[in-house]
Amino acid sequence: MAFLEPDRYFARVTRISPEDDLIGCGFTHMLLDMDNTILSRATHDIPRDVLAWLEQVREAGVSVCLLSNNWHDVPYEWAKTLDLPVVAKACKPLPHGYIAARGKIGARSADTVVVGDQLSTDVVGAHLLGMKAYLVCPLVEQDLKHTQVVRAFERMLLGARSPEGVSACEGRD
């Protein structure tokens, strides 16, 4: 099931090196999930190391658009704080949100990577449009009930595959 196979799998979003894993792999554009990828479901905040990583990504010359299934005002508020474009209520894995997000930053499939913490939304949607997808471990275990059910299924699909940069998993908050 190639659609459900992430191209890379990282222990935490901060383990993605802007130079090596983004620019070095030809990715000048990134569609970035929010909930439990950069925004903790436990604290409803973006951890400080993730904020610093986001800054490094932008300094490396990668254009970022936030892409969230969140139905509330949260993505818009964070987009304003971070000064980033956003597409919320995206209904991932359906393509329209990805296409809108790509349009906002002038991205093409070949130069874009999708980064998120869920196989069935972030990764599948990326692959439907021929984009690469980096899966990350969720920042925290806490999540919406239906997401937890889906996550159990996704863990089965990942099987024994272990994320790159595992030591960061141990230190996550």
Instruction: Give the binding site for Mg ion (CB under 5 A).
Output: 33, 35-37, 117
For 7, the 3-state DSSP assignment is: coil
Nearest-CB residue for Mg ion: 35
The CB-of-35 to Mg ion minimum distance in angstroms stands at: 4
- The candidate with the shortest Cα–Cα distance to 140, out of 45, 53, 56, is 45
Cα dihedral value 121, 144, 149, 51, nearest 10: 50
Question: What CA–CA distances, in Å, run from 73 to 25, 37, 103?
Answer: 33, 17, 21
**Nearest distance, CB of residue 39 and Mg ion, angstroms:** 8
Which residue, 23 or 120, is less far from Mg ion as judged by CB?
A: 120
User: If you search the block for the tokens 């275990």, which residue do you land on?
Assistant: 141
CA geometry: angle 130, 59, 121, nearest 5 deg: 30
Secondary structure class of 32 (helix, strand, coil): strand
* CB closer to Mg ion out of 23 and 49: 49
* Cβ distance to Mg ion smaller for residue 28 or 37: 37
Q: Give me the least distance between CB of 36 and Mg ion, in Å please.
A: 5
Residue closer to Mg ion, measured from CB, 111 or 122? 122
DSSP codes joined into one string, 39-64: B-TTTSS--HHHHHHHHHHHHTT-EE
Find the shortest distance in angstroms from Cβ 70 to Mg ion.
9
Minimum CB distance to Mg ion smaller for 23 or for 100: 100
Query: CB–CB of 42/140 below 8 Å?
Result: yes
Q: Which is nearer to Mg ion, 18 or 138 (CB)?
A: 138
Instruction: Give min distance, CB of 129 to Mg ion, in A.
Output: 18
Nearest-approach distance from CB 74 to Mg ion, in angstroms: 12
